[in-house]
Structure 1
Amino acid sequence: MIKNKRSLVTSLSFFIALIFIKPSTATVYEIESENKRLIGEPIIHTVVKGDYFQQLAEQYDVGFLALLAANPEHDPFLLKVDTEVVIPNQMLLPFISRKGIVINLPELRLYYYSPEENKVHVFPVGIGRQGLSTPLTSTVIGEKRKDPDWRPTKEMQKRHFAEHGEYLPDVVPAGPNNPFGKYALRLGTSEYLIHGSNKRFGIGMRASSGCIRMYDDDIKWLFDNVPVNTKVRVVNQPVKMSFENGDKQLIEIHQQLSDLETTKGNVILTKAMQRFVGTNREYWQQLLPVIEKPHGLVVELAK
């Protein structure tokens, strides 16, 4: 009986903590020059009693899967006190022009480049699950909507009926049951949106039907600061590379999304990557474990 009471207290504490977690808003990085792509600094978090991965992901405004990949030795729900967790807050900018919004699907991150400052705002995002991938595209923010209605598509209705034996309502108005949350930004004139969510989980994961999910505070910031007609590029770059200061060779490898149309075979070993790493055997030996199990952290190739 005492054991059951303790378990109940632990469970209640878990859910109370979850309710009161408040994610920080965008992580902002200075861009030193057009020639540099490395931003941020690695953060080491020392675990205290009650810490778990979802709470840390929201606290540091990073994705759940990014946290998991960077710390494969940890149990995400039973972290040991005084152990260290790597917070993946250092990264290389995607290889694309630094304008507007860039969403790199394999790393589950959204970058917004300030038009009047040398700064980039970085957010974790949830994207389409396997079989319902978020499409690669070049478009603009076509519309912004506060308190949007949610109208499930015919395909969603069919899937929900097949899985649950009942249809979804035709329209879900703004409120706690609305999957879009409080704000939505439409990609062009398509059915795909960047939006909030009525669920705490799924940010930084492949969990949506193709739309791009964000934490409530993050989507509010984007809604308030990004105008209609802002350029948006959704890209697939599982490998990012950079020569920093003309000498440092840096590489960042993420798990590839095998169901994207542009992904054929092993995208990790591209010709660009082979040219970048070269023929140095020590470099390849250093990278082999990362290629086999990508952790999404910046690696400096060193002899």
Structure 2
Amino acid sequence: MSKKILAILFAVVFPTLALANTYTLPTPNNDMIGKVTYDYIKPGKNIKQLARENDIGYYEILQANPHINPQKTYDWQKFTIPSKYLLPDAPRSGLVMNIAELRLYYYPANSNKVITYPTAIGMLGMETPTGTFKVIERLDHPKWYVPKSEIAEMAKQGVYLPKVMDSNPANPLGYYGLRLSARTYLFHGTNVPPTVGRRASAGCMHLYPENIKALYEMVPVGTNVTIVDQPFKAGWVGNTLYFQAVTPLYEDRQKWMHNYRPIYTKVIKDAVKQVNAKVDINWQKVKEMLKEPNGIPQPIGHIT
């Protein structure tokens, strides 16, 4: 079956996902994509399924709906879908992964589009690294070479893993992957989709099965990969300055001793430096946003 036919079938089977995560790249002086939407828990569904249907990660939907108990949802309960983003402070080319928001941005070459996907990242003690890398291999139905530590740990629980696991529904790599130049790290699929949008891996970044398939088909070997850690982002839409905040990762909270002021102040001031004008900033609003970060960009200033 040709890739063209597969793409058509994908758009038919997953019409919302095929469109929801692709945006026109804003002009160089603008940094916002997407919009906040709303959706409802359908009968027989749960919050994890709602997140996947809207191409949102688990932590994202929880942060955007802090008043909702994920264990006590009900039919037709309304949810805010935080599908509005400031682009990370990174080159707008190749793959840009912001581990703080558990989200990947892909800038296809020779295109005016940006595509974004939720991801899982490394657990505490198995952190996903930051830095610059390249895609060195595209993996179709990859085998999983099980780490000795994983074999030993699972054996304690009475589960005995093989040294090599062929591609099958139980393989945690899923059916597609992109290997980075730091060879032990990949973007890959998963056999447990509800873990997308969580800290749930040994350092790799895994995506919903339909998203890694789409990414695998688009991304060539040699693509640049930039991995950043940016819980606070600031950017422009016309003459208005926006700020976006998520809860920093645990290790960042410890490193910064919960004193985020130097971090977010620098982010905002760096954005102001991009314009040759006086900017009136509502610092009180910034502080209010940081009391309960919801991951949704909000206006905090404007050119005067």
TM superposition score normalised by structure 2 = 0.83
The answer for unaligned runs of 5 or more in structure 1 is 1-19
1:224 corresponding residue in structure 2? 217
Paired AA for residue 292 in structure 1 = K
* In 1: Cα distance, 2:128 partner to 2:297 partner: 25
**Using a 3 Å threshold, how does the CA distance of structure 1 residues 92 and 274 change in structure 2: closer, same or farther?**
closer
**Using a 3 Å threshold, how does the CA distance of structure 1 residues 31 and 209 change in structure 2: closer, same or farther?**
same
Aligned-residue identity in percent:
31
User: How far did 1:291 drift?
Assistant: 1.2
Greater CA drift, 44-53 or 102-111: 44-53
User: Does 1:74 pair with 2:68?
Assistant: yes
Q: CA RMSD in A?
A: 2.8
User: Does 1:239 pair with 2:232?
Assistant: yes
The answer as to whether partners of 1:277 and 1:283 remain within 8 angstroms in 2 is no
- SS where residue 285 of structure 1 aligns? helix
- SS where residue 164 of structure 2 aligns? coil
* In 2: Cα distance, 1:251 partner to 1:113 partner: 22
User: Does 1:251 pair with 2:243?
Assistant: yes
2:275 corresponding residue in structure 1? none
* In 1: Cα distance, 2:71 partner to 2:159 partner: 33
**Using a 3 Å threshold, how does the CA distance of structure 1 residues 293 and 235 change in structure 2: closer, same or farther?**
same
Alignment of 1:149-164 (within 5 A): 149-162=143-156, 164=157
User: How far did 1:274 drift?
Assistant: 6.1
1:96-126 deviation per Cα after TM superposition (whole angstroms, max 9, x unaligned): 1101000000111010002111110000001
Paired AA for residue 237 in structure 1 = Q
* In 1: Cα distance, 2:268 partner to 2:34 partner: 26
User: Does 1:115 pair with 2:109?
Assistant: yes
**Using a 3 Å threshold, how does the CA distance of structure 1 residues 260 and 233 change in structure 2: closer, same or farther?**
farther
User: How far did 1:156 drift?
Assistant: 2.3
User: Does 1:183 pair with 2:176?
Assistant: yes
2:95 corresponding residue in structure 1? 101
Greater CA drift, 266-275 or 181-190: 266-275
1:164-211 deviation per Cα after TM superposition (whole angstroms, max 9, x unaligned): 255521011111111111011101151111111111220011111111
User: Matched residue pairs, number?
Assistant: 281
* In 1: Cα distance, 2:299 partner to 2:212 partner: 33
2:86 corresponding residue in structure 1? 92
* In 1: Cα distance, 2:133 partner to 2:21 partner: 24
User: Does 1:283 pair with 2:277?
Assistant: no
**Using a 3 Å threshold, how does the CA distance of structure 1 residues 71 and 261 change in structure 2: closer, same or farther?**
closer
* In 1: Cα distance, 2:215 partner to 2:115 partner: 10
* In 2: Cα distance, 1:98 partner to 1:82 partner: 38
Paired AA for residue 173 in structure 1 = D
Greater CA drift, 71-80 or 167-176: 71-80
The answer as to whether partners of 1:23 and 1:58 remain within 8 angstroms in 2 is no
2:9 corresponding residue in structure 1? none
The answer as to whether partners of 1:46 and 1:84 remain within 8 angstroms in 2 is yes
* In 1: Cα distance, 2:112 partner to 2:204 partner: 28
* In 2: Cα distance, 1:261 partner to 1:77 partner: 27
The answer as to whether partners of 2:234 and 2:268 remain within 8 angstroms in 1 is no
1:9 corresponding residue in structure 2? none
**Using a 3 Å threshold, how does the CA distance of structure 1 residues 73 and 113 change in structure 2: closer, same or farther?**
same
* In 2: Cα distance, 1:44 partner to 1:166 partner: 42
**Using a 3 Å threshold, how does the CA distance of structure 1 residues 33 and 294 change in structure 2: closer, same or farther?**
same
**Using a 3 Å threshold, how does the CA distance of structure 1 residues 65 and 276 change in structure 2: closer, same or farther?**
same
**Using a 3 Å threshold, how does the CA distance of structure 1 residues 43 and 94 change in structure 2: closer, same or farther?**
same
The answer as to whether partners of 2:41 and 2:47 remain within 8 angstroms in 1 is no
